[in-house]
Amino acid sequence: MDEGWHVAEMILTVQVAEKMKLEAQTMASPPTSRTAVLYSYATQAPMAMAIPSSRVRFGGFEVDLRSGELHKQGIKIKLHDQPFQVLAALLEHPGELVTREHLHQKLWPADTFVDFDVGLNSAIKRLRDALGDSAEEPRYIETLPRRGYRFIAPLADRPEQGTPETQGPAEPATELHAAMEAMDSPGSAASSAPAPGARGARIGWALPGLGVLVVLLFATMRFANPPAVPPAGAGVNAAPPSKTQPAVRSALLIEHPSANAEANELLQRALIFIRFQYDPLRARPMLERALQLDPNFTEARVYYALTYIIAVEGGLSNDPGDVFRAEAELRRAVKEDPEIALAHAMLGAVHFYQGRLDLAAQELQQSVRLAPSDLGGRMWLLVLGRFLGDDEEGARATRKFIESEPLFWPARYHLGELRREQGRIPEAVSEFKKVLEQDPRNSTTLRCLARAYLDAGNLPKARQTFARMRPQDAQNFRARMVRAQLHAVEGKGALALKEMDEEVLKHADLQPFAALDAAEAYAVLGETDRAIEWLDRSMRKGDDRAAWLRIDPLLANVRQHPRFKQILNSMEFRWQQRIALAKQQ
């Protein structure tokens, strides 16, 4: 897996989890560097509150006042806290005037200093958008000028307080239903409950480290290689039989659906290819069609942009235009709804590709502020910190991340890469093997494990690890680059150059971490000038891993080159400048 891909896979996975009603941020002690600021965002933990239990139905909508959720025809609709509180207040007094003053008191404490009118108007607009309502021709919420609002739609019979509901969300239509039934069938999922210490009640995927939502939503989405799933009760992470795993069909819920039913189904079909088959190229036409049917379908637009990012990060595309296409779609999505955390995190990824690291950090931090439980934004901040060279700070933050989310394999993989770049190969190998216990065919981790063996000089182990990859995974651009490094170390220069063809190098110039991979391969081949050229590209992209360059075994042939020393000095100077700037702030 390319390091940046953490964001896409983690954000998609968090979309499966139930939304929190309220979220709070817990900040760490004052950081000592800019990347420490990133880590403090990445390791914060969310909190939640509950409200009284009750369900209300009107039109095609169902409101769960206890969980703070709104569904339309069984599809979950994204609605933030303040608009939901407004809806709840209106439903408490259907057909009656609810004054603006009452809503002010409900939404903001007495000691809150805020422009109440602007804030309330914004909350009402977002609520109407979610309901597909309008102020001019209201179906649900009527405005009484200068006085307040009234809920005017008839309510269906309300279940008794606390009465459990037995009917779940409506199933997606046609082949979607069959596909989800197949994914939920016996043998496709393991035991379901969280391992001891895992916060499974908060995040759906943090249930069994060996179950569907952990691996399918990470590994298959990224690598198209379904995991081996042990029988229930096997292994240390096996769950007690008393727990139940969320249905895989929840992965296809749409938070903010279109009014066009066909557009919703197209998005759900696309999510199958994105999340379960890692086939963004097949998902993309479906999303294009959904946007033709409803040009204002913001959630479909975000996933449409995501297909371009997945293709680049997964080694399926080396077209720089894909990054700009993603950026254009994401900017439009943020303009339509500035509170979509996924869009901000993906914009952070775009800025990372473009070398605009300060902008990347801003977007990622905004993503975390909007959705503190979203592991994608938090993980990307750790990835950015690694690129900026704060390996020890990054290792501490990543260990803290793993302690809170022990079944989240990208964090463990990331820790393995940090250890490898510190020269602590046994620890790196140990972390990679823990990931492979969950998913033996995780191609990202197999690639990194092969590289760890290569750094240690254990060429037979490196070859054996590559042989474990599925053929299609072994052909992505990033895997081919590491295989070129292996051929170079083995003295097979012609094979190395054949692997490292023009298309592979084009991808290396696009993906920030991959530029150093090219420099390493050329250094081993003895092509010093080309190695220095790629090192210079890596440095210009913002790569400040100076400590790793000092000990990287594949750079031994160029370490005494004058230009190498200049690059190293430049990286170290930038790192020191960041620390000095952070201390001044």
Predicted local confidence at residue 215, as pLDDT: 32
**3-class SS of residue 354:** coil
On average, the pLDDT of the chain sits at: 76
Give the dihedral of Cα atoms 160, 162, 163, 164; nearest 10 deg: 150
Least confident piece of the model among 25-39, 424-438, 458-472, 571-585 = 25-39
* Residue 379 contacts residue 203 (beta carbons within 8 Å): no
Condensed to tens digits (0 to 9), the pLDDT of residues 285-305 reads 999 999 999 999 999 999 999
Most confident of 6-10, 57-61, 171-175, 196-200: 57-61
Give the DSSP per-residue string, 48-96.
-------EEEETTEEEETTTTEEEETTEEE---HHHHHHHHHHHHSTTS
Condensed to tens digits (0 to 9), the pLDDT of residues 241-250 reads 332 333 344 4
Give the pLDDT band of residue 55 (cuts 50, 70, 90). Answer: confident
Residue 426 in this model has a pLDDT that exceeds 90: yes
Give the pairing of strands 75-77 and 55-58. unpaired
Cβ-count burial 327-360 (b if 16+ within 10 Å, e if not): bebbeebbebbeebbbbbbbbbbbbbbbeebeeb
Domain boundaries, the chain: 55-151, 499-585
Please measure the distance between the N-terminal and C-terminal CA atoms of the chain and give it in whole angstroms: 35
CA atoms within 13 A on the CB side of 6: 27
What strands lie across the sheet with 141-144, from one edge to the other? 97-99, 148-151, 141-144
Predicted local confidence at residue 41, as pLDDT: 54
Kindly state the tokens that stand for 144. Answer: 């009484």
Question: Which stretches of 337-438 are DSSP H helices?
Answer: 341-353, 357-370, 375-387, 391-404, 409-420, 425-438
β-bridge partners, 142: 150
Predicted local confidence at residue 38, as pLDDT: 55
**Who has greater pLDDT, 374 or 366?**
366
Least confident piece of the model among 78-87, 90-99, 172-181, 202-211 = 202-211
Least confident piece of the model among 16-20, 29-33, 236-240, 436-440 = 236-240
Single-letter code of the amino acid located at 297: F
Residue 45 in this model has a pLDDT that exceeds 60: no
**Mean pLDDT value of segment 101-124:** 76
> What span, in angstroms and rounded, lies between the C-alpha atoms of 276 and 291?
22
Among 122, 113, 135, 35, which Cα is nearest to 83's? 122
How crowded is residue 390: how many other Cβ atoms within 10 Å of its Cβ? 29
Residue 493 in this model has a pLDDT that exceeds 70: yes
When computed from its CA atoms, the radius of gyration of the chain, rounded to whole angstroms, is 25
The arrangement of secondary structure in 55-151, i.e. its CATH architecture, is Orthogonal Bundle (1.10)
Predicted local confidence at residue 172, as pLDDT: 43
Predicted local confidence at residue 484, as pLDDT: 96
* Residue 418 contacts residue 410 (beta carbons within 8 Å): no
Predicted local confidence at residue 570, as pLDDT: 92
Mutual angle of helices 6-16 and 298-313, in 10-degree steps: 140
Predicted local confidence at residue 170, as pLDDT: 37
**Mean pLDDT value of segment 415-430:** 95
Give the DSSP per-residue string, 115-176.
-HHHHHHHHHHHHHHHHT--SSS-SSEEEETTTEEEE-SPPPPPPPTTPPP---SPPPPHHH
**Mean pLDDT value of segment 208-228:** 31
Predicted local confidence at residue 407, as pLDDT: 79
pTM of the complete model: 0.63
> What span, in angstroms and rounded, lies between the C-alpha atoms of 287 and 509?
28
Residues 6+ apart with CB under 8 A from 83: 123, 124, 126, 127, 130
* Residue 549 contacts residue 517 (beta carbons within 8 Å): no
**Mean pLDDT value of segment 448-458:** 96
Which runs of E-coded beta strand occur in 434-549? none
**3-class SS of residue 253:** coil
Condensed to tens digits (0 to 9), the pLDDT of residues 294-347 reads 999 999 999 999 999 888 887 888 999 999 999 999 999 999 888 888 899 999
> What span, in angstroms and rounded, lies between the C-alpha atoms of 21 and 246?
19
**Mean pLDDT value of segment 176-183:** 44
Predicted local confidence at residue 11, as pLDDT: 40
In Å, how far are 21, 54, 370, 427 from 375, measured between CA atoms? 17, 30, 12, 24
Residue 431 in this model has a pLDDT that exceeds 90: yes
β-bridge partners, 98: 149
**Who has greater pLDDT, 241 or 77?**
77
Among 369, 437, 427, 441, which Cα is nearest to 395's? 427
Residues 6+ apart with CB under 8 A from 554: 454, 455, 485, 489, 520, 521, 523, 524
Q: Which long-range contacts (CB under 8 A, 24 or more apart) does 104-113 make?
A: 107/82
Kindly state the tokens that stand for 429. Answer: 């190998």
Residues 6+ apart with CB under 8 A from 475: none
Residue 99 in this model has a pLDDT that exceeds 80: yes
Residue 453 in this model has a pLDDT that exceeds 60: yes
